[in-house]
Amino acid sequence: MVERSHKPGPISATTASSLPQAQVNVSDDNSKVTATIPSGDTVEVLLYGATIISWKSNGTENFWVSDAAKLDGSKPVRGGVPVVFPVFGPPPKNHATSSLPQHGFARNSRWEYLGKSTSESASDDSVKMDFGLYSAGLSEEAKKAWPYDFGLVYSVTLTKGELSTILTVRNEGKEGFDFNVLLHTYLRIKDISTTTISGLLGTSYVDKVLDARESTESNSDLRITGETDRVYKSLAQDTTTVVENGSPRFDVVRKNFRDTVIWNPWTEKAKGMGDFEPKTGWREMLCVEVGSVAEWVRVEEGESWEAGQTIKSLV
């Protein structure tokens, strides 16, 4: 921003060219990577879990992070975008993932920052940052619980008004493995009572609040009115839209992910989570979690698989 102490006159060519040019700026303090693009949009990615803990566009924070979230690597972050891999939810019995914690190890492992690349366009510059997690970098406990050779690369691209993330899963071992993957996005909203979700109509879902009952969504504009934990399966539409007071607030666009989980803990569940603050925070958050979780994804020796999402902030 240029401060003026006198009435501005026309800007001469010399003055204009001597104004500082906004640039893409990326900094890495060994625990967090922060990027800013010329529009002023910013993103912060914690190396712990490669968890995106802030994304601001047009001066507005788009993600909800609990005031009591642990950002010191002692616990997965309650908020932002934790990466769920290689199992979603509590692991099933008698499965290769059975000894893992809920939602796997990606969200509580330290990832490596692999570097950035920038691209310039007429409308705005963008920046892509890559993060990696490999079997060799896991804790001994996680390696023992899931002894496969793999490489994950998570690319986070910030463009004006949009955040895109792509996860690539590579099998670097001699045997195939099955996995779930999900981007557990906590969107910040103004008020859950005036928020609706569209793009789910006609999709079958498993209701985890109602003992995994199977239903089909009959609402074109879904309203959340109590604890909600649903796995919408094999969505036909790529885009799920979060609408505030009748105006679109976020488009969440899936790329090669089949499913979407809608989660809001509501009053009692929020009270039961030690790292969920303020306790009324459920009013201002909504998880729209794209992933492939209803069925296992399999990658054989030497194969890789990728999927991702683009979130558009529409204000």
The 201-220 contact track toward ligand G6P, x by CB under 6 A, reads: -------x------------
The catalytically annotated residue of 44, 162, 217, 289 is 289
User: Residues marked as binding for substrate?
Assistant: 78, 102, 107
For ligand G6P, give the closer residue by CB, 7 or 93: 93
Q: Which helix (H) or strand (E) holds 121?
A: none
Q: Is 233 one of the binding residues for ligand G6P (CB under 6 A)?
A: no
Residues 161/257, Cβ–Cβ less than 8 Å:
no
The Cα–Cα gap between 75 and 94 comes to: 26
CB of 275 to ligand G6P, least distance (A): 9
Q: Is 83 one of the binding residues for ligand G6P (CB under 6 A)?
A: no
> Which of positions 142-201 make contact with ligand G6P (CB under 6 A)?
none
The Cα–Cα gap between 182 and 154 comes to: 12
184 is catalytic: yes
For ligand G6P, give the closer residue by CB, 35 or 103: 103
Residues 190/60, Cβ–Cβ less than 8 Å:
no
Q: Is 282 one of the binding residues for ligand G6P (CB under 6 A)?
A: no
User: In this structure, how many other beta carbons lie within 10 angstroms of the beta carbon of residue 277?
Assistant: 14
Q: What share of the chain is helix, strand, coil (3-state, %, to 5)?
A: 10, 45, 45
* Upper half-sphere CA count for residue 3 (Cβ side, 13 Å): 1
- Name residue 177's beta-bridge partners: 299
CB of 239 to ligand G6P, least distance (A): 20
Q: Give the interface size with ligand G6P as a residue count (CB under 6 A).
A: 10
> Which of positions 285-314 make contact with ligand G6P (CB under 6 A)?
287, 289
> Which of positions 251-270 make contact with ligand G6P (CB under 6 A)?
261, 263
Amino acid at 240: T
For ligand G6P, give the closer residue by CB, 102 or 245: 102
The count of residues in the chain is: 315
Q: Is 103 one of the binding residues for ligand G6P (CB under 6 A)?
A: yes
The Cα–Cα gap between 81 and 101 comes to: 18
User: Residues marked as binding?
Assistant: 78, 102, 107
Q: Is 86 one of the binding residues for ligand G6P (CB under 6 A)?
A: no
For ligand G6P, give the closer residue by CB, 48 or 129: 48
Nearest CA to 166 out of 128, 120, 121 is that of 128
The catalytically annotated residue of 184, 217, 244, 295 is 184
For ligand G6P, give the closer residue by CB, 24 or 64: 64
User: In this structure, how many other beta carbons lie within 10 angstroms of the beta carbon of residue 291?
Assistant: 26
Q: Is 100 one of the binding residues for ligand G6P (CB under 6 A)?
A: no
Nearest CA to 201 out of 245, 228, 235, 164 is that of 235
CB of 110 to ligand G6P, least distance (A): 18
The Cα–Cα gap between 2 and 85 comes to: 46
Q: Is 229 one of the binding residues for ligand G6P (CB under 6 A)?
A: yes
Which spans of this chain sit near ligand G6P (rule: CB under 6 A)?
A: 76, 89, 102-103, 208, 229, 261, 263, 287, 289
Residues recognised as catalytic: 184, 289
